[in-house]
Amino acid sequence: MPFVLSDSKEQQQESRSMMDIILLGIAVAFFALCFAYTSACDRL
């Protein structure tokens, strides 16, 4: 088992929560684009 510094675990937790926020933002943007695309196609 490699040596782990005490603050590196906090750094991993912080980067993991930041990645979760980024992925949730991407998912929300994807569904918003899908909704906009379907409403635009519905107008045609």
Taking only the tens place, the pLDDT of each residue in 25-41 is 999 999 999 999 999 99
CA distances for 26 relative to 1, 13, 14, 15, 37, angstroms: 35, 20, 19, 16, 16
Report residue 11's pLDDT band, with 50, 70 and 90 as the boundaries: confident
CA distance 12 to 9: 5
Q: Tell me the pTM.
A: 0.64
Task: Give DSSP secondary structure letters for 4-39.
Answer: --HHHHHHHHHHHHHHHHHHHHHHHHHHHHHHHHHH
